[in-house]
């Protein structure tokens, strides 16, 4: 059930080796001012060259199936490869933090309309998804594969139970999370979203609605944290009792809030009635971006994060909420496809930023043991904390 996740643009490196050619992220990150450390993703974790070492490490952590030799697992995983349309639409065409970096903010981009383009891009991504699903189902029925869409959803908690703040949380959650989930499970955008966005939101034709509805066999979910919402549009990590919603992490948007994860999972199950696959979940330890190897591998903060989130998930499973998969982000410290570059360390494996040498963190062993204890997952023995080189 549990896996560790990676992504090609973030780990491969060697962007021009063997005739590959540049990706959109290679071009974007090479501009020099797009990441906190000014570095591009040309190195990643050097996995293009060190893939044998990475596979060996993943096996030592409990990597449980044989890639393309396992039809049931690989079909489901590969269909999640091109994932998270709201990330691409919003961060790439509204905020301008992701490739291609379009935004109304002219300090970030000379082109773009943040109020219009995200909805056009999101709409087109949804139709591309639906068309691809139809091709798969029509042309490869003998595979009997499950295919679907992954959305990024953080829970929006009302600051208090006043009508204004409850409406604020609902508005935020609808725009950020239901925008792209509703069409594939219900066949259209949420009515509240139509009210908020107005004529900037494209409309589906009846034929497009029919193509979209049911175009996902499961609900794929990337989730990291929860925030309070109040006063129409604002968010905060401090509750009305003056307490923080969760401990401070290495990034402001990954505070551990396992109760928010539990609320989100139950909400999505009750709304869509679909199997849920948690496809990304993880944290950065406080100060981790500046830690040397010896300190970084002692990642108790990450262990506490995973423990809280897995416990929340396990409790819902015991109540028959159909959560089918949990994928921890990430296998290794890599190039984060955000403005953070190499400074956001999500991995359960430490990667030396100069040499690329790998060292398992304490959380790598914890995940295997804890998932086996909570879920009965079969994993390999946890790795030692020895230093790994190529």
Q: Is 238 strand, coil or helix?
A: strand
CA 57, chain centre distance (Å): 22
Exactly one of 36, 53, 73, 315 is catalytic; which is it? 73
Helix (H) or strand (E) holding 167: helix 163-173
Q: Say which of 2, 12, 117, 280 is annotated catalytic.
A: 280
- Cα four-point dihedral sign 123, 80, 269, 130: positive
Q: Which of 221, 243, 245 is nearest to 325 (CA)?
A: 221
User: What SS3 state is found at 381?
Assistant: coil
Tokens representing 350? 């430490």
Q: Please state whether beta strands 323-329 and 2-5 pair in parallel, antiparallel, or not at all (unpaired).
A: parallel
Q: Is the dihedral of CA 135, 141, 145, 146 positive or negative?
A: positive
Residues in Cβ contact with 190 at an 8 Å cutoff, skipping those fewer than 6 apart:
174, 178, 179, 182
**Cα atoms found within 13 Å of the Cα of residue 174, Cβ hemisphere only:** 17
144 belongs to the catalytic site = no
Q: Which residues contact 210 (CB under 8 A, 6 or more apart)?
A: 187
Q: Are 260 and 313 in contact (CB under 8 A)?
A: no
Reply yes or no on whether 280 is catalytic: yes
**Residues classed as catalytic:** 73, 280
């Amino acid at each position: 059930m549990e896996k560790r996740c990676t992504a090609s643009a973030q780990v491969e490196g060697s962007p021009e080796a063997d005739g590959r050619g540049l990706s959109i992220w290679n071009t974007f990150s090479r501009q020099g001012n797009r990441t906190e450390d000014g570095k591009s993703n040309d190195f990643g974790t050097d996995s293009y060259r060190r893939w044998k070492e990475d596979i060996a490490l993943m096996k030592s952590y409990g990597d449980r199936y044989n890639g393309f030799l396992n039809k049931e697992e690989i079909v489901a995983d590969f269909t999640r490869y091109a994932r998270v349309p709201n990330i691409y639409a919003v961060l790439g065409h509204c905020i301008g933090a992701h490739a291609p970096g379009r935004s109304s903010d002219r300090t970030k981009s000379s082109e773009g309309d943040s109020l219009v383009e995200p909805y056009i891009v999101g709409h087109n991504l949804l139709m591309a998804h639906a068309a691809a699903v139809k091709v798969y189902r029509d042309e490869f029925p003998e595979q009997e594969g499950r295919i679907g869409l992954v959305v990024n959803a953080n829970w929006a908690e009302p600051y208090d139970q006043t009508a204004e703040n409850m409406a604020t949380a609902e508005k935020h959650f609808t725009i950020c999370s239901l925008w792209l989930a509703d069409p594939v499970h219900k066949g259209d955008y949420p009515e509240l979203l139509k009210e908020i966005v107005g004529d900037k939101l494209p409309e589906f034709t009846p034929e497009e609605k029919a193509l979209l509805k049911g175009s996902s066999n499961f609900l794929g979910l990337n989730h990291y944290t929860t925030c309070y919402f109040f006063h129409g549009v604002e968010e905060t990590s401090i509750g009305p009792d003056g307490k923080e919603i969760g401990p401070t992490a290495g990034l402001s948007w990954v505070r551990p809030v396992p109760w928010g994860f539990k609320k989100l999972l139950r909400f999505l199950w009750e709304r869509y009635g679909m199997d849920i696959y948690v496809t990304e979940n993880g944290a950065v330890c406080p100060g981790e971006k500046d830690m040397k190897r010896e300190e970084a591998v002692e990642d108790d903060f990450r262990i506490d994060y995973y423990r809280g989130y897995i416990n929340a998930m396990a409790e819902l499973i015991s109540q028959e909420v159909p959560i089918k998969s949990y994928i921890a982000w990430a296998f290794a410290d890599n190039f984060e496809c955000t403005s953070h570059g190499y400074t956001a360390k999500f991995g359960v494996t430490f990667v030396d930023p100069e040499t690329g040498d790998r060292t398992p963190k304490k959380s790598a062993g914890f995940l295997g043991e804890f998932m086996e204890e909570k879920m009965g997952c079969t994993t390999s023995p946890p790795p030692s904390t020895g230093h790994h080189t190529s």
